A and B are shown apart, each in its own frame.
Chain A
Amino acid sequence: MRRANTVLGGCFLALGVYLLISAWRFPAGMGRLPGPGFFPAVLGAVIVALSVALLAGARRAEGPGWKLENKAALAMTVALLAGFLLLWGVIPFVVRGFLFVALFLRFLGQPWKVALAAGAVLTAAVVLAFQYGLRVTLG
């Protein structure tokens, strides 16, 4: 958990600093009244303070770190989904949806026949419900 909290604290610290710098560049308010940068600046300052506290406490953090099992399946799901979205508008939804579901299920250990059948059924259900039922153009 020590390393995990350090990474997390670092990320939040970067976010807090980014908010502070960005808010500084926003136009100032009128007189004593706050402008558009006021709220982000307050948030940035609080996030910086909390991140420093998290980083300071990370040394004493106990317990196991992040435990990711089935890493290959996770990575493949994320890659498949990213591909599915990147090909939006390039390949028709029917093909993309079918391929995504079939490959996803196959990769998670379902037999090819089941994966292909589920891909066809699920894609058909989504197209029927959204494209024909609700008139959403899925592309």
Chain B
Amino acid sequence: MSPDILHGLQSVLQADVLGFLVLGVLLGAVFGALPGLTATMGVAVLTPLTFWVSAEKGLAMLLGIYCGAIPAGGIPAILLNIPGTPASIAATWDGYPLAQRGRAGLALGINALFSLAGQLLSILFLAVAAFPIAAFGLRFGPAEYFGLALFGISLMAGVSGNNVLKGMLAGMLGLALSTVGLDPMTAYPRFTFASTEFLDGIAFVPVMIGLFGLGEVLGQMSEKHGREIEMPAALGRVWPKLDEWRKMLLPGLLGAGLGTFVGAIPAAGGDIASVIAWEQARRLSRRPKEFTKGSIEGLSAACGSCNSAIGGAMTTMLTLGIPGDAPSAVLIGALLIHGIQPGPLLFRDHGALVYSIIFLMALAAVVIAGVGLVGARPLARALRIPDPWLWAGVIMMGVVGSYALNNSIVDVWVMFAAGLFGLVCRKASIPLGPLVLGLILGPMMEANLRRALILGRGDWGAVLSHPIVLFFLVATSASLLWPLWKKLRSTKKTAG
């Protein structure tokens, strides 16, 4: 066995690290289960709590939140027909009808078991595929990194539905914000408004808390009129019977496989994965008419896929530094705070840490499955907490967390401004994903482009003619033009 595996396991199997993992999973379960809170918000708002602990403990807690929130998002999806996180959208289609037929316990059991299966399968993929991908990534020079960053942002913008233009503008805004502070090559101050507070750039965590915490709260306040909670009277049997296992196993595993693949595509998160997997399971099923009426096959595919997207997203994030979904985008910022830089070098220089991450994720998957099976009832009761209480808690955590980063009130004002901007983005249908990605990838993109130009003595042709760069440029163009072409085609069809 590789010494890195042993070291990784050793650092995970410590009482305090495990304690932080369990705490993270429980907090993640609360953030996932309560409809007003999301996994992304959980990682963003709770990141400041990890500033004071070692990287291993902080990592354990953050991964626990991420891995705990997604499966817990299935609980309100099944009981209330409200997805707790965007990834649980497909779980509402069969989970809620199943609960309405008096089998809420079984639906919650399927959610817990196939979340475990999906997460473990995708973690296995991470363990097997990540090292070869990272080894390939080690061949990248500055020009290739520039191409990769450009491609990542274009993908985020490209999957912005009908708002590709707004997605591109959001990505550009993120990149523009990343230029605030000292120039990475010459240390010339840019857009600092003569304030020393901005010399290090705009702090990433307050922006995340503002966009995904305060912005989400304000967005919900601008829409909600209060939700009515009608819970099933009794949950009933949780564990599936043998014949139910037979029906669910194949669609569940198909969902897990598809989810891992889709999750690994930058910007395509658990929501897209679960919709695709549910549709494929319906197509392949012998009982397609049962779908949307409480099909256990549909539910297992949905739960397996949205959870397996976690491992896929983490593979892309850890190997190339490009997040696979919104929570992993926020997680990158949190990892950077702990001095962990995702990318190929992480695998070459800190192999043990990578294995720690893999073991932590696997343990978190097991813990949240246990919570889902045993603790579904108390979590279901937590759904009755009124929204204003949750909002007050999120705002307070956001304010204090932003301040605690540098003991700076400027960071809190940045969070406040980001929150207001987050509200505008929600109202104006501006996707936040490209903005976050632009902010994260901006420094890498600029520094590598300029490094590549220095190496090429200012010759753009030399920079852009690298085969991998060319591939990324073609892929970038395709990802941006594809939605436009699709829209044009559908307009023509409608006109015809």
A122 at interface, CB cutoff 8 A: yes
Say yes or no: A69-B458 contact (C-beta < 8 A), given A12-B169, A19-B176, A74-B218: no
B165 at interface, CB cutoff 8 A: yes
> Of residues B169, B186, B450, which shows the largest number of chain A Cβ atoms within 10 Å of its Cβ?
B169
Establish whether residues B399 and A85, one from each chain, have CB atoms under 8 Å apart when the complex forms.
yes
Q: Which residue of B lies closest to A4 (CB)?
A: B428
Q: Which of B223-265 contact A (CB under 8 A)?
A: 223-225
A15 at interface, CB cutoff 8 A: yes
**CA A35 to CA B420, docked complex, whole Å:** 33
Establish whether residues B396 and A8, one from each chain, have CB atoms under 8 Å apart when the complex forms.
no
Establish whether residues A109 and B172, one from each chain, have CB atoms under 8 Å apart when the complex forms.
no
Q: Which of B396-413 contact A (CB under 8 A)?
A: 396-397, 399-400, 403-404, 407, 409, 412-413
Establish whether residues B222 and A85, one from each chain, have CB atoms under 8 Å apart when the complex forms.
no
Q: Main SS of the interface on chain B?
A: helix
**CA A27 to CA B400, docked complex, whole Å:** 39
Could you count the A-B residue pairs with CB atoms below 8 Å apart for me: how many are there? Answer: 146
**CA A1 to CA B222, docked complex, whole Å:** 17
Q: How many chain B residues touch the partner (CB < 8 A)? A: 56
Say yes or no: A15-B176 contact (C-beta < 8 A), given A34-B453, A138-B400: yes
Find chain B residues with CB under 8 A from A70 CB.
221-222, 224
Establish whether residues A39 and B392, one from each chain, have CB atoms under 8 Å apart when the complex forms.
no
Establish whether residues B165 and A85, one from each chain, have CB atoms under 8 Å apart when the complex forms.
no
Establish whether residues B409 and A89, one from each chain, have CB atoms under 8 Å apart when the complex forms.
yes
Q: Main SS of the interface on chain A?
A: helix
Find chain B residues with CB under 8 A from A109 CB.
388
Find chain A residues with CB under 8 A from B375 CB.
none
Establish whether residues B392 and A105, one from each chain, have CB atoms under 8 Å apart when the complex forms.
yes
Establish whether residues B190 and A26, one from each chain, have CB atoms under 8 Å apart when the complex forms.
yes
Find chain A residues with CB under 8 A from B190 CB.
22, 26, 36, 40
**CA A129 to CA B386, docked complex, whole Å:** 23
Establish whether residues B388 and A22, one from each chain, have CB atoms under 8 Å apart when the complex forms.
no
Find chain B residues with CB under 8 A from A19 CB.
176
Establish whether residues B407 and A136, one from each chain, have CB atoms under 8 Å apart when the complex forms.
yes
Establish whether residues A53 and B413, one from each chain, have CB atoms under 8 Å apart when the complex forms.
no
Establish whether residues B222 and A68, one from each chain, have CB atoms under 8 Å apart when the complex forms.
yes
**CA A138 to CA B420, docked complex, whole Å:** 23
**CA A26 to CA B173, docked complex, whole Å:** 19
Residue of A51, A82, A108, A134 near B52 (CB, 8 A) is A134
Say yes or no: A38-B392 contact (C-beta < 8 A), given A27-B186, A70-B224, A134-B404: no
Say yes or no: A57-B404 contact (C-beta < 8 A), given A36-B183, A122-B393: no
CB distance from A20 to the nearest CB of B (A): 11
Instruction: List B residues at the A interface (Cβ < 8 Å).
Output: 49, 51-52, 165-166, 168-169, 172-173, 175-176, 179, 183, 185-186, 188, 190-191, 214, 218, 221-225, 386, 388-389, 391-393, 395-397, 399-400, 403-404, 407, 409, 412-413, 416, 420, 423, 427-428, 430, 446, 449-450, 453-454, 457-459
Q: List 17 A-B contacts (CB under 8 A).
A: A19-B176, A34-B450, A35-B186, A35-B188, A47-B169, A47-B172, A50-B168, A50-B169, A50-B172, A53-B165, A54-B165, A67-B427, A77-B218, A129-B49, A134-B52, A135-B52, A136-B404
Q: A43-B179, A77-B218 are in contact. List 18 more A-B contacts (CB 8 A).
A: A15-B176, A31-B458, A32-B457, A33-B450, A35-B186, A36-B183, A40-B176, A46-B172, A47-B173, A50-B172, A54-B166, A57-B165, A104-B391, A108-B388, A122-B392, A126-B397, A134-B49, A136-B404
What are the 6 A-B residue pairs with the smallest beta carbon separation, nearest first?
A: A32-B458, A36-B183, A108-B388, A66-B427, A36-B188, A39-B446
